[in-house]
A and B are shown apart, each in its own frame.
Chain A
Amino acid sequence: MQERVPLPTSPPRQRRRWSYTRFQQRFAPYIFTSPFFVLFLIFGLFPLGFSLFLAFHLWNPLDGLGNWEYVGWENFQLALGARDQFWVALKNTVWIGLLSGVPQHLVALPLAFVINQSLRRWQGSISTILFLPYITNAVAITIVFGMLYSENLGLLNYALSAVGLGPVRWLALPELVPVSVAAVVFWRYVGWNVILYLSGLQAISEDVYEAATVDGASSAQKFFYITLPLLRPMMFYAFTLTIVGNMQLFEEPFIMVGQAGGSGGAALTSAMHIYNVAFRDLDMGYGSAMAWLLFLAIFVLSMVNNYLFSRGGGRQ
């Protein structure tokens, strides 16, 4: 048996209390993560508290810090009462959100399904093209859409009149303005949802479909009994993003029909209303109160979405 050579003992560990190596190893993670917390304190937590404080005060920022007047729940009462546009704007927001959000998913889901099923080879190119609207500038593209909608000279009405239909006042009729705005939102985010659904579909194992094929399932059966249930988590995620995004809609209506929301204020969204109150009329307390109410509305809608998805589905 070979004689074991005693291993050289490692030098005694340095027990210096303030070794730089040990110090930085110990505190590195705290230092590395601290920028977020410092920034969040200054630009997040403090402002949030400030805005909650302001929601109960009357204050014009030009009067300077400290010159606010406590008004209790008055801001909230004003918003929830009938005298203000709060409810009108909220209704517009939800309506435009539905008009753009529902078709978005009704189109994106089948689109992702057929691309995944039958056009695998082209998937990369197709998803790149469909993603293009997502990455564009809202102001720029809204201007282009506005030109398409133009009453006498727009391409859309030109095409309509070519098939014998009269010009449509896309941006003037209060019933049509939300549709016109929603179309831009729809256009921008369909591709994004297709990409989300595509990546969800790719996570579903091919074996499940093969097993179903062996059992004689039709394409429709596969879609409704395999694809939809297994896509639930991604649908929940995509729906949540749509709800949260649509409830804060600002640029598209603001550019399309102007700050006041167009004729009859039909496209005045909550975000625009809050902007007008806070930054045009400089009523910061009232604006803050409405921002918190809108936050509440977003929260409630997200919870409803959450409830609908967790119900009856087993896993979520």
Chain B
Amino acid sequence: MTTQPLETPLAAPRPPRRTARFPLGRVGLWIFVGLACFLSVIPFYLMFVWASLPGEQIFAVPPHLWFGDAFVGNFQKMMTATDNYALRQFWNSLYIASLSTVTTLFFCSLAGFAFAMYDFRGKGYLFGFILVTMLIPPLVMDIPSFLVMNNVLHWIGTPRTLWVPGMANAFGIFLMRQYIVSALPKSLIEAARLDGATEFGIYMKVVLPLIRPILATLGVVTFVGSWNNFKGALIMRLSEDSTMTLPLSLRRITGGAANINADWGATLMMVVLTVIPLLILFLFASRQVISGLTSGAVKD
């Protein structure tokens, strides 16, 4: 009988720790990740530094990499360069993005609630249809939606061209349905119904308060998407000084990114103005948005 020494689990050698085997491994790791983080942040830093420098110093050699004192001066330049319409344009962007967000949250959660909590004839087909519409690339819709706005509804140049079509969208309904199915039990609805609530009352008083996390996710996504909608505003001709949104105004004030003769102090101030609301929103909701966006990503 061969007696091979049995290795007891206790005697098994501990797997070597990577830090011990490659002393440089952990350092290299941090350099890799640190560099990625640095590169993510640096353009934002530069944007703020440049916005605080007088125009001629922005492209100075050697470059200025620390804040200057021209922040207020650049703000005034920006106002002059836009005939005092910059804040109005900021408001236009805010108005469109806010309306878009509120309506999207309402209609998508309502539909998501219906698909998650009710059994009704044709439900499978209707939901399938909504999913299929997600496959249409937005680009294919550009021309026809302009034509509907221009030749049928005569809405061209008005803000509603940007927020009305997306009020109830497939992505939002899908996101809402997924969340409500996994987070709310159907018995909750039954209980509310026995208490005499109407169906819409159940939605308002029971469902809406319970789905706040996913409302935050969809809300931020919608707001950011609308705030950044440059092509839409361009196509729908929000081109008057007073109707422009901020990204459109930004493009006009530079006259192209490579234009050396642009008023860079004014431009950078507007860049900051365009990005700040997004940064604020992000600061409050980034974790929520990240987890909400990826929660349903692998399931399809």
Contact = CB atoms under 8 A, between A and B. Distances in A.
Contacts of A191: 40
Contacts of B126: 33, 37
Given A119-B29, A295-B140, A35 B168 contact: yes
Interface in A91-142: 107, 110-111, 114-115, 118-119, 124, 126-133, 135-142
Nearest to A46: B148
Contacts of A200: 297-298
Interface in B221-240: 224, 227-228, 230-231, 234-235
A240 to B, nearest CB: 10
A279 B47 CA distance: 32
Instruction: With a 10 A CB-CB cut-off, give which of A43, A64, A195, A237 has the most chain B CB atoms.
Output: A43
Contacts of A237: 297-298, 300
Interface in A124-170: 124, 126-133, 135-150, 153-155, 158
B257 A147 contact: yes
Given A44-B133, A140-B247, A295-B140, A130 B36 contact: yes
B257 to A, nearest CB: 3
Contacts of B170: 36
B59 interface: yes
B95 interface: no
A203 B26 contact: no
Contacts of A174: none
Interface in B1-49: 15, 18, 26, 29, 32-33, 36-37, 39-41, 43-44, 46-47
Contacts of A304: none
Given A133-B40, A139-B250, A155 B260 contact: no
Contacts of A274: 139, 142-143
Contacts of B287: 124, 128
Interface stretch (A9-17, A72-80, A81-89, A248-256): A248-256
Contacts of B41: 129, 132
Nearest to B25: A118
B190 to A, nearest CB: 11
Interface string B66-107: 000000000000000000000000000000000000000001
Contacts of A271: 139, 231
Given A36-B173, A111-B36, A244-B137, A203 B298 contact: yes
A140 B47 contact: yes
Interface of A: 21, 24-25, 28-30, 32-33, 35-37, 39-40, 42-44, 46-48, 50-51, 54, 61, 64-65, 107, 110-111, 114-115, 118-119, 124, 126-133, 135-150, 153-155, 158, 171, 187, 190-191, 195-196, 198-200, 203, 213, 219, 233-234, 237, 244, 247-248, 250-251, 255-258, 271, 274-275, 278-279, 284, 287-288, 291-292, 294-295, 298
Given A61-B151, A135-B281, A195-B293, 20 more contacts: A25-B199, A28-B199, A33-B111, A35-B168, A43-B165, A129-B37, A136-B44, A139-B228, A140-B274, A141-B43, A144-B50, A146-B256, A153-B260, A155-B63, A196-B297, A248-B138, A274-B142, A278-B146, A291-B140, A298-B137
Interface of B: 15, 18, 26, 29, 32-33, 36-37, 39-41, 43-44, 46-47, 50, 58-59, 61-63, 107, 110-111, 113-115, 118, 120, 123, 126, 130, 133, 136-148, 150-152, 164-165, 167-170, 173, 193, 198-200, 203, 224, 227-228, 230-231, 234-235, 247, 250-251, 254, 256-258, 260, 264, 267, 271, 274-275, 278, 281-282, 286-287, 290, 293-295, 297-298, 300
- 10 closest cross-chain pairs (CB), A and B: A146-B257, A47-B144, A28-B199, A153-B59, A199-B294, A32-B114, A43-B165, A29-B118, A51-B144, A36-B168
